[in-house]
Structure 1
């Protein structure tokens, strides 16, 4: 059972890294914008689309790398130190934690789109201070 949770951890981390890479570097540039971070703010303009995919892709890649770098060693230490049942519970909580972090990153990107772009998807001009 512990091995199954480790495999799930690796798959989720790889999906976060690959999905983030795709959003950041390979999101489609065509007018359909079918694949990528499809939220209401990102679909309003090309600039918002690119900003949303680059921002979310960067955070998903970071989450995936952190998940692999922390999840495997922590799970193995807990397995050898406390036993299989504690390690399985920790991995389950760990996977849920990183799933929540990925969801929060999408919410943060949505908020930053509303801060940086107007209702038509055009970038908001920064006001110069006098």
Structure 2
């Protein structure tokens, strides 16, 4: 059903999204606070300062995490070039779950950084 190259490419989608999203957040974040686009949490949407900080922080984290995830994804997949279809499907599932946890972990990290930098009203801490 699936061959090695299809699985290989699918396993690079999340790292590619992180790299693209990180680059976009770093270089041209959304200017206006939006319910549809951007890093949207209650604290990040308090004001322009929290919005800008969240995007700068998330951009840096996604950019780094994207490269790490990309490198690990390639290295982990290389030994499975001749594996069975069942093994490749299991590998794909494990990789997508690991990458998803990494992606969600960055959201937790950025939210923690926001809470360290700003109070609950969105004012910078002293």
Report the counterpart of residue 103 of structure 2 in structure 1. 102
Give unpaired runs (5+ residues) of structure 1.
Answer: 126-130
- Structure 1 residue 18: Cα displacement: 0.4
Which of 18, 38, 44 is matched with 1:36 structurally?
Answer: 38
Greater Rg, structure 1 or structure 2? 1
- Structure 1 residue 73: Cα displacement: 2.8
Question: Residue 31 of structure 2 aligns to a residue in which SS?
Answer: coil
Structure 2 matches for 1:36-75, cutoff 5 A?
36-75=38-77
Structure 1 runs of 4+ aligned residues shifted over 4 Å read 31-34
Distance in 1 of aligned mates of 2:125 and 2:113? 12
Give TM-score, length-normalised by structure 2.
Answer: 0.84
Structure showing greater relative contact order (alpha-carbon pairs closer than 8 Å, 6 or more residues apart): 2
Give unpaired runs (5+ residues) of structure 2.
Answer: none
Give TM-score, length-normalised by structure 1.
Answer: 0.82
Alignment: residue pair count = 124
Which of 37-46 and 89-98 deviates more? 89-98
Distance in 2 of aligned mates of 1:11 and 1:32? 25
Q: Do 2:44 and 2:51's aligned partners in 1 also have CA atoms closer than 8 Å?
A: yes
